[in-house]
């Protein structure tokens, strides 16, 4: 009985259309739901990144300007394309890169002419940065510090 009904349905074009439409509709719904979930996850991840990696910022020692660190990789230099640009002739076009991994910030000199100094020590390889460390690119000095804390070393 059941097989006869099924056989009859299989020969019907309308039945084929309905089954195909249901399959396509369900797959589309599923993929769009996954996309909406991805959007919600994005908001959570941004908050988490802010908590783990985005808690540091740079302070320009001369002007006291706050420079946010908002990516995993930040290029510092004189070039118009650098993420953080210092229009100072003592700074090379591509001077240094700040990296963050697992919430730990590092600085790497990119073979600049005047060098990069961390707490007055010239660096030759990647150096881990700690709160209140002073970084000097050429004659430009900045301090890396946690957001929302009182400045101590900045004059």
Partner 1 sequence: MFHNGIKYGRSVMLVLLTHLIMLSAVVLRGNYDNIQQVYPLAIAVLGLDLVYIITLRFFYNQMTYTMDFLLLLILNISVIFQSCFGGIGFSSKHYITCILALICCQISFLLTRNHIRLMTIKKYLYIALGAIIGIMLITSVIFGRYNLWIDLGFFQFQPSEFMKPIFVLLCATSIMEQHEKKKILFFYISKEALMLTGAFLTIFLIQWFKHDLGSLPTFAAAYACAVVCRICYPKAKFSKKMLIIICAIGAVVVVAALKFAPGYVQDRLSVDIWSDMHGHGYQQCQALMAIAEGGLFGKGPGYGSLIEIAAADTDIVFSTICEEWGFLVALLIIFFIVSLLILPMINKPRSYYHTTMILGVAAVLIVQMGLNIFGSCNLIPFTGFKIPFISQGGSSMITCGLLAGMLKAGQSPVFRKPEIPSLQKKRQIQSGKTRRDNI
Three-state SS at 16: helix
Of 64, 66, 89, 101, the one binding partner 1 by CB under 8 A: 101
Backbone dihedral region of 81: left (phi > 0), alpha (psi from -120 to 50 degrees) or beta? alpha
Establish if 31 lies at the interface with partner 1 (CB under 8 A): yes
| Site track for partner 1 across 120-139, x = CB under 8 A | --------x-x---------
- Cβ 22 to partner 1 shortest distance, Å: 6
How far apart are alpha carbons 84 and 135 in whole angstroms? Answer: 14
Angle between the N-to-C axes of helices 13-52 and 2-10, in degrees from 0 to 180, rounded to the nearest 10: 90
Burial 75-103 (b: 16+ CB within 10 A, else e): bbbbeeebebebeeebbbebbbbbebeee
Establish if 79 lies at the interface with partner 1 (CB under 8 A): yes
Work out the burial of residue 49: count CB atoms within 10 Å of its CB; fewer than 13 is exposed, 13-18 middle, 19 or more buried.
Answer: middle
- Cβ 4 to partner 1 shortest distance, Å: 14
| Site track for partner 1 across 49-68, x = CB under 8 A | x--xx---------------
Q: Give the interface with partner 1 as residue ranges (CB under 8 A).
A: 6, 9-10, 13, 15-17, 19-24, 26-31, 33-35, 37-42, 44-45, 48-49, 52-53, 71-73, 75, 79-83, 94, 97, 99, 101-104, 106, 110-111, 128, 130
């Amino acid at each position: 009985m059941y097989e006869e009904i099924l056989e009859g349905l299989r020969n019907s074009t309308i039945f084929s259309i309905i089954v195909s439409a249901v399959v396509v509709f369900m797959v589309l719904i599923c993929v769009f739901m996954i996309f909406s979930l991805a959007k919600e996850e994005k908001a959570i991840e941004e908050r988490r990144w802010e908590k783990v990696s985005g808690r540091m910022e740079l302070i320009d020692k001369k002007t006291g300007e706050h420079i946010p660190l908002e990516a995993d990789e930040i290029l510092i230099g004189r070039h118009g394309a650098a993420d953080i640009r210092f229009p100072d002739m003592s700074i090379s076009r591509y001077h240094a890169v700040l990296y963050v991994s697992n919430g730990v910030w590092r600085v790497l000199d990119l073979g600049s002419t005047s060098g990069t100094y961390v707490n007055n020590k010239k660096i030759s390889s990647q150096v881990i940065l700690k709160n209140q460390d002073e970084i000097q690119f050429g004659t430009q000095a900045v301090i890396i510090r946690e957001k929302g804390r009182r400045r101590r070393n900045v004059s």
